[in-house]
Amino acid sequence: MLLCECGIASFDDINSRVNRFSTACLPAFFDKIEKELLADLFNYESVLFIVKLVQNLAYYKLPNYRIQNIEDINSMRTDFIKRRVDRTYDEVWFCKNLRVHGQITLSGRFCLYETEEYIAHIIECVWNESPRVIDSYNQYADISYIRAERGGWGHHYTIQEFNVKEADDADTLMELFTEVLLQIEESRNKLTEMFEFCKKSGLDIVSFEFTHDGKTHFIDWDSSDDLRLLRLC
């Protein structure tokens, strides 16, 4: 995995977060995810499972599912049948975000964008949510969200939007956001190394998805043309 090869994430960390099943073993997958969901719903305040279908020759823009209850699992099971998942896909992966009562978690994505005319770093974060919700965020959503931008390494960020839902405390959220910014700076050399590799492949946008639980964990990446990059790896 490219994140691991560049030292941005460790194999052990990612493997501990991702459960992988062959699509030839779908009964075992459904048995495990259902048992874990029921146990986690009993033990945690907030539970979110992310499921992704994987094809060996198509590594990006693959179907994914947000699972928060048994009804979601049943809907996913029906969709698997429609998609003929056991014949069309090679693996099914899942990871999960769990939150205990009173805990505040943060997740988001850090985007590097560079052309001859324009350089920008854009960071978007949400609290107590999956980073996937950023794709569908709007100002009326009942989530706490922040977006900030700067002109590259060494520049100060300008906050472009900071939406705090009524139940959250703005100072606490900003404290966590500041922690993430500092830890991203600590990973500057490794992030730059991967971005420079991407630029040599003709790409000008790369984003890094992360979670933060006191430590920032980079868990995924995306680019302006994933397939071109992966063919060169």
Per-residue pLDDT of the chain (233 residues; tens, 9 = 90+): 677 777 888 878 777 778 999 999 999 999 999 999 999 888 877 788 989 998 866 555 678 898 999 999 999 999 999 999 999 999 999 988 777 766 778 899 999 998 888 899 999 999 888 887 888 887 767 889 999 999 999 999 999 999 998 878 899 899 999 999 999 999 999 999 988 888 887 888 889 999 888 889 898 888 766 555 555 55
> Which residues, in sequence order, are bridge partners of residue 150?
121
What pLDDT is stored for residue 167 in this prediction? 76
Residues 34 and 120 in one domain: no
Distances (CA, A) of 168 to 48, 151, 171: 19, 30, 9
Residues 92 and 112 in one domain: no
Residues 34 and 118 in one domain: no
Residues 171 and 190 in one domain: yes
- What is the rounded CA–CA span in Å between residue 220 and residue 216? 12
Last residue of a domain, one of 70, 99, 128: 99
Structure tokens at 105: 């978690």
Residues 119 and 56 in one domain: no
Residues 65 and 125 in one domain: no
Structure tokens at 117: 């005319």
Residues 138 and 217 in one domain: yes
What pLDDT is stored for residue 199 in this prediction? 82
- What is the rounded CA–CA span in Å between residue 216 and residue 181? 9
Residues 72 and 112 in one domain: no
User: What is the overall mean pLDDT for the chain?
Assistant: 86
Angle of the 26-43 helix axis to the 70-83 helix axis, nearest 10? 160
Buried b (16+ CB within 10 A) or exposed e, 41-64: eeebebbbbbbbbbeeeeeeeebe
Residues 84 and 132 in one domain: no
Number of domains, the chain: 2
Last residue of a domain, one of 45, 66, 99: 99
Residues 124 and 192 in one domain: yes
Residues 82 and 143 in one domain: no
What pLDDT is stored for residue 67 in this prediction? 92
- What is the rounded CA–CA span in Å between residue 107 and residue 211? 4
DSSP the chain: -HHHHTTSS-HHHHHHH-EEEEGGGHHHHHHHHHHHHHHHHHH-SEEEEEEEEEBTTB-SS--EEEE-SHHHHHHHHHHHHHHTHHHH-SEEEEEEEEE-TT---EEEEEEEEE-SS-EEEEEEEEESS-GGGGGG--TTSSS-EEEEEESSTTSPPEEEEEE--TTS-HHHHHHHHHHHHHHHHHTHHHHHHHHHHHHHTT--EEEEEEEESSSEEEEEEEETTHHHHHHH-
Last residue of a domain, one of 60, 79, 99: 99
Which structural domain, as residue segments, surrounds residue 12?
2-99
What pLDDT is stored for residue 222 in this prediction? 82
What pLDDT is stored for residue 225 in this prediction? 63
* Distance in angstroms between the alpha carbons of the first and the last residue of the chain: 10
What pLDDT is stored for residue 231 in this prediction? 54
Residues 165 and 53 in one domain: no
